Amino acid sequence: MTQKKTYFLNMGPAHPTMHGVIHLILELDGERVVNTEVEIGYLHRAFEKHAETETWNNAIPYTDRLNYVSPLINNTGFCCAVEKLAGVTIPERGQYLRVIASEISRVADHLTCIGANAMELGAFTVFLYLMEGREYLYQLIDDLCGARVTTDYTRIGGVKADLPEGFMDKCRGVFPKIRKLAADSEALLTKNRIFLDRVEGVGVLSQADALAYGITGPFLRSTGVAYDVRRAHPYLVYDRLDFEVPVGSRGDNLDRYLVRLAEIEQSLRMLEQCFTQLPDGPVSSTPWEMKDAFRFEDMGKAGSTALLPRCLAKTCRTLEGSSRSKASGIMVQDPVLAMPSKEQVYGNIEGLMNQFETVMWSWGVRVPAGEAYHAVEGGNGELGFHIVSDGSDRAYRVRCRPPCLFIMAALPKLLNGGYVADVVATFGSVNMIAGELDR
């Protein structure tokens, strides 16, 4: 009797579907995968140590790069953890703005995952449709934050700026386009025989295994568990929003695709509710006069400050919405936590000193000693931040709970017993983001 032999195949990190950052060692019997070894760590960014060496607000840009497909959710999660430790409640309008930013980012994340997975299975048209949809959203994010990916929108105590003029109307014009593109993509995929053969019954993970591995997000919900941090542990204003938690039943690649597709519609519903419920910001009957920054500076230096309270500073596009007239609605009015408005910075020495002190090392924001954990619903599941403070101007210890790490731990269970061709379909459904995975 001849002994059956297996052989080993290295897949990645250079393989296109491994994104250049994952190495799979596959033990094969013919084309069937017998065993899988997963090697991660190709994009270790030292996020946690970087966050411990920077002041509280200066650590926020590092969160952008965790999940670079939905960075606004990362910004929000980190700031919520710090505010929980500091005992700070941000203004109601600021809470709505964080939810709006997060849900726009979530839709972009799901469009990217579905589109990229479809492309890797040969459905290139779907990829083009969904990337068109993502481009509409990136333009909205650019209007809101001044950047498409490195958003840095939140601040400890609120957000950096109010909605730009006409933003809600622009969103309402984009949402039907997103729905149309998602519907067209669903029509191309959901009943497509080739697509179904590649994903139905492939990459199955049982509900018990998903729970045992600590998996959350769309991956867990595809097994039938309706766990969503926004519903189970409401934060910001999610408890005021009416939305459903889509679930699957089989826990296979098809269910994960369907759950993400359904969540796109739920996020759009939440955004529409936020626009309806959004409380008005500060209103003043004063007819504001717009002045350039150098006018503020010249008048301040000359001691001609009597007219400054009636003026607003002309700012660049990335600072639009951060003026004095908006500040109390989007940011905690505490000089220890919040940077002053540009009118104060340009118009008086106290405001200028406050600006410098807020961003300088050994001055800045101070958070009481202690520790806190806060989780948000990220694109891949529960994204948590455990913050430890010693009372200084920066974190003593930061620990991030990356949702896709737990899915990657279960990857051998998903791949073993399948075929080499199934690796691409299953790995694409994980929505692995290396910045979040390796941190």
- The residue among 326, 361, 360, 365 whose CA lies nearest residue 88 is 365
Is 157's pLDDT higher than 70? yes
Nearby residues of 208 by Cβ (< 8 Å), 6 or more positions away: none
Tell me whether residue 240 is in a domain: yes
pLDDT in tens, 124-139: 999 999 999 999 999 9
Cβ proximity of 430 and 408 under 8 Å: yes
The answer on 343 and 244 residing in a single domain is no
pLDDT of residue 308: 63
Amino acid at 166: G
323 in the same domain as 272: no
Tokens of 26: 């596959």
Q: Report the half-sphere exposure of 56 (CA within 13 A, side-chain side).
A: 32
Token digits of residue 423: 């690796």
Cα–Cα dist 107/111, whole Å: 6
Q: Which amino acid is at 33?
A: V
Does residue 327 form part of some domain? yes
* Apex 401 CA angle, 434 and 21, nearest 5: 10
Q: Which of 434, 425, 429 is nearest to 33 (CA)?
A: 425
Is residue 189 located within the same domain as residue 209? yes
* Same structural domain, 335 and 317: yes
| Residue 439 CB partners (closer than 8 Å, separation 6+) | 44, 45, 46, 47, 48, 66, 400, 402
Ranked by mean pLDDT, which of 23-27, 318-322, 324-328 comes out on top?
A: 23-27
Domain count, the chain: 3
Average pLDDT estimate for 15-21: 80
| pLDDT at 1 > cutoff 60 | no
Does the pLDDT value for residue 321 go beyond 70? no
| Nearest-angstrom CA–CA distance, 333 and 354 | 13
Is the domain of 276 the same as that of 305? no
Q: Dihedral of CA 77/147/270/408: which sign? A: negative
The CATH number of the domain where 204 resides is what?
1.10.645.10
Report the alpha-carbon distance of residue 28 to residue 34 in Å, rounded: 5
- Looking at residue 249, its amino acid is S
Range of the structural domain that residue 305 is part of: 289-349
> Do 98 and 195 belong to one domain?
yes
276 and 333 together in one domain: no
Instruction: Give the model confidence (pLDDT) of 341-377 as tens digits.
Output: 777 777 777 777 888 877 777 677 788 999 999 999 9
Using alpha carbons, select from 102, 95, 93, 115 the residue that is nearest to residue 182.
115
Residue 376 falls within a domain, yes or no? no
Task: Please state, in angstroms and rounded to a whole number, the distance separating the CA atoms of residues 208 and 206.
Answer: 5
Residue 285, pLDDT > 60, answer: no
Instruction: Report if residue 375 sits inside a domain.
Output: no
Does the pLDDT of residue 305 top 90, yes or no? no
Quick one: pLDDT at residue 304? 63
Q: Give the number of other CB atoms < 10 A from CB of residue 224.
A: 15
One domain for residues 271 and 295: no
- Say if residue 326's pLDDT is above 70: no
| Alpha-carbon separation of residue 305 from 84, 172, 227, 347, 423 (angstroms) | 38, 42, 56, 7, 67
Q: Do residues 167 and 296 both lie within one domain?
A: no
Lowest mean pLDDT: which of 23-37, 164-178, 329-343?
A: 329-343
Give me the percent of the chain exceeding a pLDDT of 70: 88
> Could you report the per-residue pLDDT of 328-337, keeping only the tens digit for each?
677 787 777 7
Q: Are residues 298 and 422 in the same domain?
A: no
Residues 202 and 245 grouped into a single domain: yes
| 252: nearest Cα among 286, 218, 277 | 218
Q: Which one has a higher pLDDT value, 294 or 399?
A: 399
Burial of residue 233 (number of CB atoms within 10 Å: 0-12, 13-18, 19+): middle
In which band, very low, low, confident or very high, does the pLDDT at 280 lie, cut at 50, 70 and 90? confident
Of the listed ranges 315-319, 408-412, 430-434, the least confidently predicted one is: 315-319
pLDDT at 196 over 80: yes
pTM of the model: 0.90
| Residue 19 banded pLDDT, cuts 50, 70, 90 | confident
Per-residue pLDDT band at 310 (split at 50, 70, 90): low
Dihedral class, residue 23 (left if φ above 0, else alpha if ψ from -120 to 50, else beta)? beta
Over the stretch 53-75, which tens digit does the pLDDT of each residue have? 988 888 999 998 888 889 999 99
Question: What is the pLDDT of the chain when averaged over all its residues?
Answer: 87
Q: What is the pLDDT of residue 324?
A: 62
